[in-house]
């Protein structure tokens, strides 16, 4: 039988060290602020840096339960029959990638494992590079038996934003005469029964900028009455909640949405037990950094009300 000390893991030590550091740091900041002394903004930056870096080093992570808005997308993919076709649009760049690339990978993994065909495209020029990452880490690595053109196809980037969407809602070939490897549209088996977006079973836009999910809803989802879902960077998620559930059936908001989806996927099937979960890993630093930011807000507000009561500010 293990003694209690033997049961302590590196992660436990990491959590303790991180929490002690954060608590001591916050106490020092609070003491300095309440004594009326200035706190240099660079100290705040450094404090945030350490609050994020320590959980990354000690790999602190938490488990998450999928919220209904995330679960809705999971259930939709689960309900699709084999050989359905889903379009995943990579509407993001490397700056957004830490948040949304985990969603893109998890969604691809989920679709391919259920024998759902995927049409990949992007409305951001740098989305092409991000797409290649999914191809190397998920598609070719975990599903080597899946064939290009039959189980998935990469249409690549097309400039034009809303213009592209306005065309593909009625005709794919007009905008994408070939795939990214210059294979003509008519020779790609996945498109045998697909003329436009209206023939797709689901469209998922992953991004956070413009053109993005809003344009997909405006130019494709609503006019074509096509089921739409999205995975977006946290900054734009609040603007998209009003579209749920009538105009988009599910939404992964920021890295938390991605972590929820990863956990839902991992818990659903033993074959996903060892899958990479980058978003879940990121939630450790997120949680501790949020504790720090919330503490800053509380300290700042207490000081504000105290100074107002003393008549130091109007």
User: Which one among 184, 298, 302, 308 touches another protein, defined by CB under 8 A?
Assistant: 184
CA distances from 88 to 91, 108, 175, 251, 294 (A): 9, 8, 16, 14, 36
Within 8 A by CB and 6+ apart from 208, the residues are 91, 92, 96, 99, 100, 232, 233, 235, 236
Site for another protein in 1-40 (CB under 8 A): none
Q: How far is Cα 148 from Cα 153, in angstroms, rounded to an integer?
A: 6
247 interacts with another protein by CB under 8 A: yes
Q: Which stretch binds another protein (CB under 8 A): 135-143, 153-161, 199-207, 265-273?
A: 153-161
Dihedral pair phi/psi, residue 15, rounded to 5°:
-60, -45
217 is an interface residue for another protein by CB under 8 A: yes
Using CB under 8 A, which of the segments 18-26, 146-154, 247-255, 302-310 binds another protein? 247-255
Taking the C-alpha atoms of residue 220 and residue 200, their distance in angstroms, rounded to an integer, is 11
| Structure tokens given for 231 | 């995975």
Q: Is residue 75 within 8 Å of residue 245, measured between CB atoms?
A: no
Closest contact distance (angstroms) between CB of 113 and another protein is 26
Interface residue with another protein among 234, 275, 299, 303 (CB under 8 A) is 234
User: Which x/- pattern, by CB under 8 A, does the window 98-117 give for another protein?
Assistant: xx------------------
Quick one: which of 140, 271, 290, 306 contacts another protein (CB under 8 A)?
Answer: 290
- Asked if 219 interacts with another protein (CB under 8 A), we say yes
What is the C-alpha to C-alpha distance for residues 72 and 78, in angstroms, rounded to an integer? 10
Whichever of 17 and 235 has its CB closer to another protein, that residue is 235
Instruction: Classify residue 13 as exposed, middle or buried by CB count within 10 Å of its CB (0-12, 13-18, 19+).
Output: exposed
Q: Which listed range, 103-111, 135-143, 145-153, 172-180, lies at the site for another protein (CB under 8 A)? A: 172-180
Is residue 73 within the footprint of another protein (CB under 8 A)?
Answer: no
What is the Cα–Cα distance from 211 to 91, expressed in whole angstroms? 7
User: 300: how many CB neighbours lie within 10 A of its CB?
Assistant: 11
Calculate ∠ Cα 103-277-259, nearest 5°.
55
How far is residue 84's CA from residue 96's CA, in Å, rounded to a whole number? 29
Smallest distance, another protein to C-beta of residue 91, A: 14
Under the criterion CB under 8 A, does residue 157 sit at the interface with another protein?
yes
Query: Measured on CA atoms in the order 79, 84, 234, 223, is the torsion positive or negative?
Result: negative
Nearer residue to another protein within complex by CB, 8 or 294 = 294
How many residues sit close enough to another protein to count as binding (CB under 8 A)?
Answer: 56
x/- contact string, 254-283, with another protein (CB under 8 A)?
Answer: xxx-------------------------x-
| Contact residues: another protein, CB under 8 A | 42, 45, 48-49, 52-53, 56-57, 59, 67-68, 95, 97-99, 125-126, 128, 156-160, 162, 166, 175, 177-178, 182, 184, 208, 217-219, 221-223, 233-235, 237-239, 242, 246-247, 253-256, 282, 285-286, 289-290, 293
């Amino acid at each position: 039988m293990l003694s209690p000390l033997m049961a302590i893991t590196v992660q436990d030590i990491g959590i303790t060290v991180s929490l002690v550091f954060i608590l001591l740091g916050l106490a020092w900041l609070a003491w300095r602020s309440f004594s009326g002394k200035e706190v240099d903004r660079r100290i705040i930056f450094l404090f945030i840096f350490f609050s994020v870096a320590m959980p990354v080093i000690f790999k602190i992570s938490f488990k998450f339960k999928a919220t209904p808005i995330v679960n809705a997308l999971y259930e939709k993919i689960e309900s699709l029959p084999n050989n359905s076709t889903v379009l995943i649009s990579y509407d993001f760049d490397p700056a957004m990638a830490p948040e949304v690339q985990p969603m893109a990978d998890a969604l691809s993994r989920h679709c391919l494992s259920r024998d759902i065909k995927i049409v990949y495209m992007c409305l951001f020029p740098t989305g092409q590079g991000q797409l290649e990452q999914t191809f190397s880490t998920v598609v070719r690595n975990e599903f080597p038996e899946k064939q290009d053109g039959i189980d998935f196809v990469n249409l690549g980037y097309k400039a034009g934003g809303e213009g592209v969407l306005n065309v593909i809602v009625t005709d794919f070939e007009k905008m994408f005469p070939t795939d990214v490897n210059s294979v003509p549209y008519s020779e790609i088996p996945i498109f045998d029964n697909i003329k436009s977006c209206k023939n797709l079973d689901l469209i998922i836009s992953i991004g956070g900028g413009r053109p993005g999910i809003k344009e997909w809803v405006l130019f494709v989802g609503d006019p074509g009455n096509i089921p739409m879902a999205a995975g977006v960077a946290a900054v734009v998620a609040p603007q998209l909640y009003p579209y749920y559930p009538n105009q988009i059936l599910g939404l992964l908001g920021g890295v938390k949405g991605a972590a929820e989806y990863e956990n839902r996927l991992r818990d659903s099937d033993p074959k996903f037990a060892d899958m990479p979960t980058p978003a879940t890993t990121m939630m450790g630093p997120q949680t501790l950094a949020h504790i720090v930011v919330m503490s800053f807000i509380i300290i700042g507000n207490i000081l504000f009300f105290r100074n107002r009561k003393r008549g130091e500010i109007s």
